[in-house]
Structure 1
């Protein structure tokens, strides 16, 4: 079995390779000269213009995928729930609902406030799901959290439809954004969300060794000197920031945070010092590959990445549910 640093290096190389494919592949085939010109900022023909437009899209797909992969791994660790994921636990739905309210009722435009509102909505939804899922005998079991998250997501989706009902001025754009995708992303949007993602990544790196202690159980973790409440709070904050900020720009993209950590865990094990960075690389690879695949499958049209990741994630979710032993309510 190759050493763990090998897998991280391979993951990083995979991200770079997928970034290259994302920049080159699209409706228009580009040459090497056009690629170099587009990367340098020189735009002399349609191919070079296409390359220049794909660069921010590629960067956002890499950052967003890494954020969702890392967020899912952290959520699975702090809840000790293999079904945890920003989509399943209602985090993405909370962010989307908050953004929809801000746009429909307060005329909120794309700004720092826009991203902050998405993060706030994600945090409130996560807290609500955890409280509901923890109620009753047995505490926060995987099944109860999954059911609470699914019910919350469905309820918030219905409320979002009610909010935009009759608002023809925003209905089309909001519904398109709700599918989840990175098309049309500009460098301004990347720069807007980058500080929030950077904070989330830093919090994730800080909690990585501490999540190993939480895996032992709260009592044993406290016995070895770990501040369980602080670790869980900071970890949850980082995961919510990553998921909420990504949702603000890309829309609610599901299953990346569910599928990627499980695949990475099979490769590199359960040590979160290695699992979290590999999950970030894996998430970036998955979202970049999904974006490229979406451009190819229905060419000359495009299939949004939210649809592609759902097609990949649903079978994995079913397999996990079938294999995981959960208690009845």
Structure 2
């Protein structure tokens, strides 16, 4: 495989960054994950962290170097992540389960497969157009689909942050799975949270990734999203991957271009935002002590191991 990749997350104007993202690849497969912890619920950033870490660790355990079934992997991993969040809430006697959106993508055999719950998005960009895009599980998307509001009104709608599917919570998530999508040379996959995509129309996203390499276009897009968001700017996160990308000598820059054939069959490479903010109050009580933080991390590890093997 040959691709260019770049990821970045920013806090925006919020006090805490509840987004998490990461990717991992073997010589023949790639896994990309973005999650947006839900700020209206306890421990949204922890929910996002658990989901991203669980999916990445399952991929590390199961891709040898490919997955037998990318769709089945996504289904089982997302189900396990949802269950892990409920288990975490029980272990810490939380009054509510931490919740998060999730969008994840597997690439192998020159094809992409993705799944999502909530309003974190995946775009497949090809030859100056949006070839495919996830549909948000949100009230605003429902209103758009039924002609109640226009696309211009959607960006300003007071309910634009209301989603009806997520990981965590009392109900099973509504998860959408893509069909197998064959990839072409120079296709770009963009996984992002609503803090990024809500600032732009689809055409602006396309144009941003046509201009220059990922190492330049991704930060530029985030800069503009932050500028437009101003004092209300949400957390914003992006993973962008250009398939069979332009060599780094004049496009994406050294450090973003990857040729996976240098990996041995049993090897993988992982890049993940490993920050987990456990010093924030989870239940309205004082912030966790250092001892409690260490205990919480240990509990998360045990939860991940248990659900990672299910």
Q: TM-score range by the shorter chain?
A: 0.3 to 0.5
TM-score (norm 1): 0.33
Q: Which has the higher helix share?
A: 1
